[in-house]
Amino acid sequence: MSYATINPATGQTEKTFPAHTPAEVEELLAQAFDTFLEYRTTSYAERARHLMNAADLFEGEAPDIARIVTTEMGKTFAAARAEASKCALGLRWFAEHSEALLADQPISTGASRSYVRYQPIGPVLAIMPWNFPLWQVVRFAAPALMVGNVGLLKHASNVPQTALLLEDIFRRAGLPAGAFTNLFIESKDIAALIEDPRIAAVTLTGSEKAGMSVAASAGHALKKSVLELGGSDPFIVLASADLDDAVRTAVTARVQNNGQSCIAAKRFIVVEPVADEFLRRFTGAMDALVVGDPFDPATQVGPIVSEAQRAELLGQIEEARSQGAVVHGGGEPLEGPGWYLKPTVLSGVTPDMPVAQEELFGPVAIVERVPDLDAALKVANSTSFGLGSSVWTNDEEEQRRCIDELEAGAVFVNAMVVSTPELPFGGIKRSGFGRELSELGLKEFTNAKTVWIT
């Protein structure tokens, strides 16, 4: 097996990289573990300095970084630059706040003194996806490194240059060899790596299938795991909403990252009084999007990441059409090289259709009509996913009900779902468990040690 850069805008293979041999993996793992034994004793100030240096590199080299990301997975160049900048933001947040958040936590007990101390646990294996190949890695690496853990990255096989770039940035930021290590390994080798006693924990962002496999391996090895899996996020539009703002944001929320985001809005659940108008405006705006070369500044939607991913989307669209759904625009591949798909809207989708339960990982949206808020909440909660959700209403009671009743890891009111360093990120149900980012994510891979002094 080899890792390969296959440009989704052209379909051409640009570079290939061999997988690490078993001997090389053993050498890298041994180095990571030995580095941990030393790195865990470093000060927060030293760790923060490394992260600040990495942030400077992400910002200073953003154009070059973005060029690699766009070439490997097809997001627009502007979006790739923004992702590099977001990495700098996340690194700085953890560098600035981790020491205070990890400070000993005094607890009042019968002891003369008692407290909780948060300590690192060891090398963390991260299995990361291609869709946000920088940010997904940084949001695991920044807290892990600030805690005093070290990281080993098994990145998606289609973003090898990005994986090497990340390793290089952390090395040039001053981190010791072994503190952040890239592994070119096959998926079949992950279970054995998790079993290795030198691996303390594992985190994965990816599909349900991958999540189940990693969770089973981690459970068998009795090791902590954090899973961030798929989503079929609802975007509820109620009658009191600012429809102009809702439609404008709905388009961005659906096609961000070429529609390939776990927290992209995918099901637009609209109450009857505004359903016709929303569908008319939304389909018009989706149809007007510029699809093309991700390096062209005019492009709003680039290619799908792979031929297989586009074929899966086309199959989902065709199945829905055959079952009675109405396809508004798009629904077909664009002619020419690359894996392009015109943004598509489906209406007339009923709960019994598979597409109503599946994740659509591309610029394909479902618009569902409902009579009222009760029905909207029932439809929103009807999937096995529970990652993010967005609700659009200016009625305070409706806002309260949605916040209370939506089954999701996040509820955004009159805004699209985003991830930010200050707030925890993660889901419920089949969207995974555990949290990334914020104080909660910082402490996921720590030993919360109870201290009692008589």
Residue ranges per structural domain of the chain: 2-228+428-453, 233-413
The one catalytic residue in 72, 167, 262, 444 is: 262
Instruction: Please tell me the distance from the alpha carbon of residue 83 to that of residue 159, in angstroms, as a whole number.
Output: 15
Give yes or no for a contact between 54 and 91, defined as CB atoms under 8 angstroms apart: yes
pLDDT in tens, 122-176: 999 999 999 999 999 999 999 999 999 999 999 999 999 999 999 999 999 999 9
pLDDT at 291 (0 to 100): 97
pLDDT at 329 (0 to 100): 84
pLDDT at 1 (0 to 100): 62
Instruction: Please tell me the distance from the alpha carbon of residue 355 to that of residue 352, in angstroms, as a whole number.
Output: 9
Give yes or no for a contact between 390 and 416, defined as CB atoms under 8 angstroms apart: yes
Q: CA 264: distance to chain centroid? A: 10
pLDDT at 2 (0 to 100): 77
Instruction: Please tell me the distance from the alpha carbon of residue 32 to that of residue 128, in angstroms, as a whole number.
Output: 18
Topology alike, domains 2-228+428-453 and 233-413: no
CATH dotted code for 2-228+428-453: 3.40.605.10
Q: Is 228 a catalytic residue?
A: yes
Task: Indicate the pTM of the whole model.
Answer: 0.97
Instruction: Please tell me the distance from the alpha carbon of residue 190 to that of residue 102, in angstroms, as a whole number.
Output: 30
pLDDT at 351 (0 to 100): 86
pLDDT at 206 (0 to 100): 96
The one catalytic residue in 72, 228, 358, 407 is: 228
Q: Is 396 a catalytic residue?
A: no
Q: What's the average pLDDT block by block, 10 residues per block, for the chain (454 residues)?
A: 92 97 98 98 98 98 98 98 98 98 98 98 98 98 98 98 98 98 96 98 97 98 98 98 98 98 97 98 97 98 97 96 94 92 96 92 97 98 97 98 98 98 98 98 98 98
Q: Which CATH superfamily is domain 233-413 in?
A: Aldehyde Dehydrogenase; Chain A, domain 2 (3.40.309.10)
| Rg of the chain taking only CA atoms, in angstroms | 23
pLDDT at 208 (0 to 100): 95
pLDDT at 124 (0 to 100): 98
